Amino acid sequence: MPDMTKTAPEAEAIEDALAPPAVKAEKARSLWGDAWADLRRNPYFVVSSVLILVLLVIAAFPGWFTSASPTTGDLVHHYLGKPELSKVGSAEWLGYDVQGRSVYARLIHGTRASIIVGISVTLLVTVIGGLIGMIAGYFGGWIDALLSGFITNVFFGIPFLLGSMVVLQSFTSRSVWVVSLALAFLGWTQIARVMRGAVLTIKQADYVHAAKALGASTSRILFRHILPNAMAPVIVVATISLGVFISAEATLSYLGLGLSSPAISWGVDISGGIAQIRTAQHIMLYPSIMLSITVLAFIMLGEAVRNALDPKMR
């Protein structure tokens, strides 16, 4: 009778040989290689990537685009200065607000808060929702019933914006990180469901059964075999959700429940300019345009990634 026992190195070698393309480093193109080849030819991906890159540069280095202070105002400039193309890049280019502060400077510096909130919330909900969905889908049984059937459904039943308002109302000072944590506290449910559905399908694959038969640990199976192959739909949802979270932050700030002074945000400026919508439309017009462009860029990127990762869309 042949010896069926394997040493640890031999078992690991066999396990790696049975691993899916997403795990092995092969010369043959995997799903990600095909997706990248498709993305490079997609004009939506190119346009959205350029827009997002510009926004990231503005958020990281606002001093490159304006030397004016976004918080220092001079009442001499109260509502003075209409948008003039001849003054592009200067403090008075887009006019001044009610306190004599440069609208252009606040527009540039407000990019950082929106981008930080969007990215931090997306990372948090991806980690929280991904772990909950992966554990629920892999183990099943009472663990799945508790995590997915009860906890996720309870959080899913709480209106996202309304729940965030209630959470933020309990804080007297609302910084970027407080708003990010409040949005992440209620925003992980969709990614948890997407991850759970992906894991339920992937755990039936032959390479997962082979890894179990070879005695691979649960953590190795989850993070080496299942997670890399379940990330495609999660990345799509997370990319689209990033724009949604930026919009949610602006909405909360507009309602006075988001970022508070001295934070600078597009939502805060839109809220401050709504009272002068008849006499000084430029105060809220330009933050609204920047917010729309940012949300549109991330939604376009998410759609492009979805089309590239879904073979049915090709």
DSSP characters for the chain? -------HHHHHHHHHHHS-TTTS--SS--HHHHHHHHHHT-HHHHHHHHHHHHHHHHHH-GGGT--S-SS---GGGTT-----GGGTTSTTTT-B-TTS-BHHHHHHHHHHHHHHHHHHHHHHHHHHHHHHHHHHHHH-HHHHIIIIIIIIHHHHTS-HHHHHHHHHHT-SS--HHHHHHHHHHHH-HHHHHHHHHHHHHHTTSHHHHHHHHTT--HHHIIIIIIHHHHHHHHHHHHHHHHHHHHHHHHHHHHTTSS--TT---HHHHHHHHGGGTTT-THHHHHHHHHHHHHHHHHHHHHHHHHHHH-GGG-
State pTM to two decimals: 0.79
pLDDT in tens, 168-198: 888 877 788 888 898 999 888 889 999 998 8
| Alpha-carbon gap, residue 183 to 177, rounded angstroms | 10
- pLDDT over threshold 50, residue 25: no
Q: Cβ(270)–Cβ(208) under 8 Å?
A: no
Q: So what's the pLDDT on residue 310?
A: 65
Q: What is the mean pLDDT of residues 209-238?
A: 84
Nearest to 188 by CA among 160, 165, 212, 207: 160
| Cα 152 → chain centroid | 19
Mean pLDDT of the 24-50 span:
69
**Which pLDDT band, with edges at 50, 70 and 90, does 27 fall under?**
very low
Give per-residue pLDDT as tens, 245-274. 988 888 888 888 888 767 788 888 887 777
Using CA atoms, how far residue 116 sits from 175, 243, 293, in Å, is 11, 12, 16
From 1.10.3720.10, 1.10.10.410, 3.90.245.10, 3.20.20.540, which CATH number describes the 111-313 domain? Answer: 1.10.3720.10
Q: Is the pLDDT of residue 3 over 50?
A: no
pLDDT of residue 12: 53
- Predicted confidence at residue 24, as pLDDT, reads 46
What would you report as the CA-atom Rg of the chain, rounded to the nearest whole angstrom? 24
Residue 128 has what pLDDT? 92
| 124: confidence class by pLDDT, cuts 50, 70, 90 | very high
Checking if the pLDDT of 17 tops 80, the result is: no
pLDDT surpasses 80 at 226 = yes
Nearest alpha-carbon partner for 156 in 115, 194, 206, 204: 194
With pLDDT > 90 as the criterion, what percentage of the chain qualifies?
7
Q: How far is CA 238 from CA 22, 176, 243, 245, 248, in A?
A: 20, 19, 9, 10, 15
Question: Cis omega (within 30 of 0) on the bond before 83?
Answer: no
Instruction: Determine what percent of the chain is predicted with pLDDT higher than 70.
Output: 77
Q: What pLDDT does 125 receive?
A: 93
pLDDT score at 123: 92
Taking alpha carbons only, the member of 272, 285, 288, 282 closest to residue 82 is: 282
Looking at the predicted structure, is the pLDDT value of residue 283 above 70?
Answer: yes
- pLDDT of 313 reads 54
